[in-house]
Every structure is written in structure tokens, then in C-alpha cells.
Structure 1
């Protein structure tokens, strides 16, 4: 079981690192490729758009072929994406490669979590899922500042090369994973897609997916603008932005561990409500400038603590709610919903913010929007709490 956790953890880690690296160095890449610093958020927002398409296209294959071959193919695609990104010199090249990265790296996590649900029994499932998900805040806390520093002293092209090299570890470990049959013996695309979309017909599943959409939408109204916001409004360098994300990453680790503690003891909705309330409060304080600028790293700590404490419960519920023959498609449907929320958040934040006099204006509007979205989350949690959300637990 430890080897399984190590494999899933490392796969999610490199996939997350490749994505969040764009936050501190996206402005540099946009400037050097001719995309323009004002369009740097596109390097983040284009990724989930194509991850959504990939999840929709590959959903039936996860349950038919099993998670192991899919994970191997996706990690291999991530390596290829990084190597090709080293050669990007024009705006079209880098945008195409960010789209390709979204199609491969963007769906590593749901396939990894589906495998965690397959390989573990009910008593161990929450532990395997939560320990694997710890890779996300770990990549943010240690990987992002390291990559910011590494790119500063070398180049962003070398940064992509380093991630490609690092990805060889999960690829090697994935080759040794135990193949697990999902019970789907015939590939009937029409039937598999019909079962995929019929997941929305179950009331509890629908509410969990709605909650996931709102959770991701809230944080991705902020994330695409964070790098530019810190650079323009706080005059931070790439290394300073990386150090801010180090603090934020520690908050995310702390939030993940708190949530995991409650989830392993049977709690599901409380961690989501706690994290949503904390994220809402701190985001409003940060974006409305209610505290001096010196507190921004502390605010990012609590912001990411709130964000990270929400997801373990959702992912565990998704592995519990359907049998193994549907688990891959449900996790990929969740990824479709997640990436729709990420793309929507990026678009909304771009519409609400703009540059004026070398500053990013409009972040306070983003904060107020998050208050409204958070209230919707609390309403959805209230509805879900009145229902028995389990379909099966095996």
C-alpha cells in the first residue's frame, strides 16, 4: 500500500507542479514568447479548458482499460509536453503546448484517485486518497518557490526540462502498479457515455458535483490573477512571489492535514463548510486591502489553508458513491466539472480585473463575488446534509 501511495502521490505532485509553476513564472514566459504580460493569465486558464475536453474524451477508456495504462500514458504525455515547451518561441507555440499539457497532465489526478478507490478497502480508502491528495499542497509549498528560484537562476525552458526529468519517477513507479480489473469487459462507447451522463440523474451525486464546481470556481476567480496581482500591486519579483506561495503552501498542507484528520474519522461535510468559510473571510480581507501589505503572505497562508481543507472530503465521497465499474467515469466527470469551474473562474476574473497605471484593478470585486459563491456552497451543503449520499461503498 505504501508503494501505491508513493506512486499516486508522485504522479499528482508532478502534474500539479507543472501547472502551478505558471503562477510565479507565467508573466516571464508570456513576455519572452511575445504573448504579453497582460495575457499571462491565459497560460493558466487555457489549461483547464483542454483538460475538460480530454476528460470527456477519455472517460470511457478509464473504466474499460483500467487506471494503470491510462496513468502511464498520461505521465508519458506530460513528459513530452514539457520537452516540447522548452522549444516554444512564439505565443501560438506556448498556448498550444499549454493546451496539450492540460489534455494530459490535467486528468492525472482523477485517474490516480480512481485507482486509490479501486485498490483500497473501505477502511483504508480515506487514508489512501487523503495521503495521495497531500501532493497538491506539497507541490505548491515546496515546488513553486523552488521552481521560481530555479527559473530565476537558469531559464523557464530549463524549468520545463527539470519537470520532465522529475516525471520519470512516477512513470517508473506506475509501471510497477498492480493492474486492477474494473469489471467492464466490452467497449461500447454509447453505453459507457450514457452511464457517464446518467450520473447526474442521482440527486446526491448531482449535489456533490455542484458543490465541487462551486468550490473550484471560488478559488479560480483568484488564482489566475495572483501572480500578476503580486507582481504589479506588491512589486514582487518571481522569487518573492515564490516565497509567498511557500507560505501559502504551508497553509494548504496544514488545511489538508486538518481535513484528513476529520475525513478519516467519518466527517464529510464539516471540512468543506469550515474551509469555505475561512477562504471567503480571508479573501475578502486580502482583496479589499483591509490589512497592510506586509500581511499578504499571512493572508495567503490562511486562504490556501481554507481552500485545501475542502477537497479531501469531496474526493473520498466520490470514491465511495459508485461501484468500481463507474468510479473512473465519475472521477473524470468530476474533473470535467472542475475544469469547467477553473475556466469559468479564469474568464470571470479577467472580466472583473484590468491593468491601470501599472496596477491590477478590480480584485476587490473578485472578493465580493466569492462571498456570494460561498453562500451558495453553504446552501448546497445544507441540501446534501438532508440526504443519504451513498449509493454503494465498495
Structure 2
């Protein structure tokens, strides 16, 4: 039985939440900013939708490969040191993105950024799992993933504003500057996270990776994450191009659209986090998924639409997306054992990134644009594909929920015997 006082956060835990949320903010903004800059990039570099989809996928695929390569080592080092190393590489890659002036240079820079940035989320998740009990993680995930909303409230509007004045490269330099200040805070204030080292059994990193992949329960968690990512990433790369060319949202209105959606997510995520600590996490996830599927189909079938109607649809969409992310992250974090957490989170993050890259590439092949000013065609098909994938996600997340309840029951019985 968890004592009530263990459910409140200590001062240090609050700092850990803040610094990890800030870390997530920069990593998410670096990836998310590609979407609102999409129309600008496609017109500036004369890109086809398929080429832009590849630019988005370059980060995701390299991040996925990096996660798999480092998974075997993820539980063999102090998690703080790993975070500092990979975050430093992410900063260098992001600076290169800001210095890129051609499509090829941008692709190379995105690959470098992905190699380092793709591992940061899994390291953060492992730190969270080490520092917080399951009954706290819904709230923690709600705050950590507020980085997603903050990137839309502050990061994306500011990025679009400076991109309009100094070019599409400028937002990446801004992200790098924020990340540099963040890594200094991590180095100075974050304590070593190394309790997991005492529980290690595998001497070989490759053997540790293999043992993690071989466990059936883990594979269910991996599959659920991959499907969830495919459904979540398919609409995103072309969201700004769709808003501008199909819905006739102006470039001046675009920052407002992202800001309003971001504010709504900042309000929604802490609420969903608290609810997921009190109610059944899977039920919240399932309801949010159904909600998102309905809004997704309606939105992708819109034509020229009033700006205020577009804003309402984006708020409703964000409610569904955020309400899926928080409980699914909390559920997935409970799957691995202590000595597998780093490896599990690395593989999970890797599959998430690869799935996102596949989704962006597939969306790029589905969506067609005749010329720079033409509406996107077949975006509605993307919406229908998302519905099908979301149904599969619900089924897999149900299995994750069942195995977690089973494991908790076993742990309770074992503690009662002791």
C-alpha cells in the first residue's frame, strides 16, 4: 500500500520535473517546428510533398536507429551522464540545421540531430520511472508532456515570427540557444541517477538488448507505442500546408492557430494527468482515441473554412491527442522491470521514432500537390488511415493495461507474503 505522503512531490522532484519538461520542450520544438515551417520550406526549396516528407522522416529514422544502437548500453551508465552526452549532440545537430542553406544540407543536419535527440526522450522516461512511483506518474507525464503544448504556445508562434523575418533557419538557432541554457541546469543541479546499476545481471550490452526484446510483455508495449506513433504522426507534417492551401488560413493567422491549440493542450494535460492517476488509464485512452478519430475524419474533409471554425477543430483535435498521450505514456512506463527500464525506454523511443518516420513518409506518398499554390489532394485518405490504426492501438493498449494490472496484483501478493 502506497502511503499518502509519498504521493506528494519533494522540492527536488519538482526541479526534476521542470528540467526534464524543459528538455522535452526543446526536443519536441525542434521536431514540431518542421510542420509549421512546412509550407515555407516547400516553397523556399521547391520541394514536392514526398521530398518534404523525407525531410521529416530523416530525423525520425536516424533517431530510431540511434535508439536501437544505444538500447543495450542504456542501463549500464548513470542516466544523468547519458542525458548530458546526448543532449549535447542534439544541440550541435540543431545548430547545423540553422546553418543549412540547401535541401541536402538540411537532410544531413536532421539526421545528426535525430541520432542524438531521439534518445533523449527515453532517457528522460527512465529517469522519471526511477524517481516517481506509478501513482505519481500520471501527473508527472502531464507536466512533462506540457512541453508539447508549450512548444505550440510559445515556441512555434515565435519560430514562425522570426522565420518570417530571418528565414526558416532562424528557429533552429533559437532552439539551440534555449537547449544550451537547459543543459547547464542539468549539469549543475540534477543528481546522479544510478540506482539501477546495482540491479544489472547482463554483462554484455548486446545480451541485455536481446533479453529486453525477447520478453513477450515488452513486445506488447513496443507494438502499442509504434501503432500509436504512426497514427499520431501522419497528419502532422502537412498540417500547415493543409491549413494554408485548403482551409485558406493566412500566414499571419497561422501562429495564432498554433498558439490557441497549444494553450488548450496546456490546460488539458494537467487535468488528464490527474484523472489518469485517479481513474482507469485505459478507459481515458480509449475514450480519447474515439474522440480523436471522429474529429480527424471531419477535419481532413474540410474545404475553405472560417478561421474561427478551424481554431475550434484544432482545439477539439488537441483534446483527443493530449488525452491519449498522457495515459498511454503512464501505462507504458509501468511495463519494464527496474533493471530493464533504460533499455526498454530506448527501444520504445526508437520504435516510436521509426514509426513516426514511416508515417510521415507514407503521408508524403498519399498527399499530392499540383503546384505551390494548389490545395493538397488526398489528405482525407490520411484521416481514414489514422482511424484504422487508432482502432488497432486501442486493442493493443488494452493488452498493455491488462498485463500491468496482472503484474501489480502479483507484486501485491508477494509483498503481503513477505
TM-score under structure 1 length normalisation: 0.91
Aligned partner of 1:339 in structure 2 is: 353
1:17 and 1:101 mapped to 2: Cα distance?
A: 12
Aligned partner of 2:253 in structure 1 is: 240
Aligned partner of 1:4 in structure 2 is: 16
| Residues 297 and 60 of structure 1, relative CA distance in 2, 3 Å threshold | same
Aligned partner of 1:145 in structure 2 is: 157
Residues 361-376 of structure 1: pairs in structure 2 closer than 5 A: 361-376=377-392
Aligned partner of 2:288 in structure 1 is: 275
Aligned partner of 1:287 in structure 2 is: 300
**Residue 109 of structure 1 pairs with residue 121 of structure 2:** yes
Helix, strand or coil at the partner of 2:190: coil
Deviations 1:313-344 (A, max 9, x none): 22222332222211111111211221232122
Structural RMSD (CA)? 2.4
Residues 355-366 of structure 1: pairs in structure 2 closer than 5 A: 355-356=369-370, 358-366=374-382
- Could you tell me whether the CA contact under 8 Å between 2:56 and 2:237 is conserved in 1? yes
**Residue 317 of structure 1 pairs with residue 364 of structure 2:** no
Deviations 1:197-256 (A, max 9, x none): 123x22xx3333322222221121211111221222234444422222112223333332
Larger Rg: 2
- Could you tell me whether the CA contact under 8 Å between 2:48 and 2:369 is conserved in 1? no
Helix, strand or coil at the partner of 2:99: coil
Deviations 1:24-43 (A, max 9, x none): 12333454456567633333
Helix, strand or coil at the partner of 1:309: helix
Aligned partner of 1:264 in structure 2 is: 277
Aligned residues: 391
- Could you tell me whether the CA contact under 8 Å between 1:27 and 1:37 is conserved in 2? no
TM-score under structure 2 length normalisation: 0.86
2:400 and 2:336 mapped to 1: Cα distance?
A: 17
Deviations 1:277-322 (A, max 9, x none): 1110111111112894431221111112211111222222233222
1:110 offset after TM fit, Å? 1.7
Aligned partner of 2:3 in structure 1 is: none
Runs of 5+ consecutive residues of structure 2 not aligned to the other structure:
1-12, 413-418
- Could you tell me whether the CA contact under 8 Å between 2:118 and 2:350 is conserved in 1? no
Given candidates 136, 156, 159, the residue that maps to 1:124 is: 136
Q: Which runs of 4+ in 1 moved over 6 A?
A: none
- Could you tell me whether the CA contact under 8 Å between 2:34 and 2:237 is conserved in 1? no
1:122 offset after TM fit, Å? 4.3
Residues 183-222 of structure 1: pairs in structure 2 closer than 5 A: 183=197, 184=200, 187-199=203-215, 201-202=216-217, 205-222=218-235
- Could you tell me whether the CA contact under 8 Å between 2:139 and 2:270 is conserved in 1? no
Given candidates 313, 317, 322, the residue that maps to 1:303 is: 317
Deviations 1:71-98 (A, max 9, x none): 1012211221122222212221110101
| Residues 120 and 348 of structure 1, relative CA distance in 2, 3 Å threshold | same
1:45 offset after TM fit, Å? 2.1
